[in-house]
Amino acid sequence: MGEKSKKPDQVVYNEKTEKYEAGLLPYATNSGAPKITPTDLTGWKNSNVSKVNHQIKTEYEELKSQYEKLMAQFEYNNLIYSAEFSFEPIVGQTYHLYNKKDGNIFLSIISPNECNFEFKGSFKLNEDKMWVRLDTKTNSKSLK
């Protein structure tokens, strides 16, 4: 045979290397070999997808909570720094935020039980010059 003849489908012949490779393959190649059926992984996938989704949702909820706390901290720091005060706050000292009758907000050292202004919250200045909220009774919405 001068011309290369086509081998039957059941014969495993590599035309590039010009060798028979049936014995080298990791699976049976003859027609009498057992049928290759893929394992049904649907249950495994569904179980693990559920676990992964739960884990991602949990992490998302944690990040969302941290973000909300950070935004609340940003809001009241922004509010305090834009408030009126005529003194230089000292790190570690407690200050109180009030709303005047004219709507202006001011920072004071006077405690809420010693004055008649609308109390917004108590804060302490930390080393990083960030205001830390001390009272948790009032939520961030009442600061506006």
The pLDDT value given to residue 7: 66
Domain extents for the chain?
53-136
Question: CA angle 14-20-25, nearest 5°?
Answer: 85
Q: Cα Rg for the chain, rounded, in angstroms?
A: 37
The DSSP code for 140 is: G
In this model, does residue 25 exceed pLDDT 70? yes
Query: pLDDT band for position 140 (50/70/90)?
Result: very low
Distance (Å, whole) CA 25 – CA 10? 13
Q: For tokens 């108590």, what's the residue?
A: 122
Question: CA angle 68-71-73, nearest 5°?
Answer: 110
Distance (Å, whole) CA 43 – CA 37? 17
Higher pLDDT: 135 or 125? It is 125
Look at the pTM and tell me if it is higher than 0.85. Answer: no
In this model, does residue 139 exceed pLDDT 50? no
By DSSP bridging, strand 118-125 and strand 94-99 are: antiparallel
How far CA 1 is from CA of 5, 9, 20, 21, 114, in Å, comes to: 8, 19, 18, 22, 112
Higher pLDDT: 37 or 129? It is 129
Cβ–Cβ < 8 Å for 108, 85? yes
SS3 23: helix
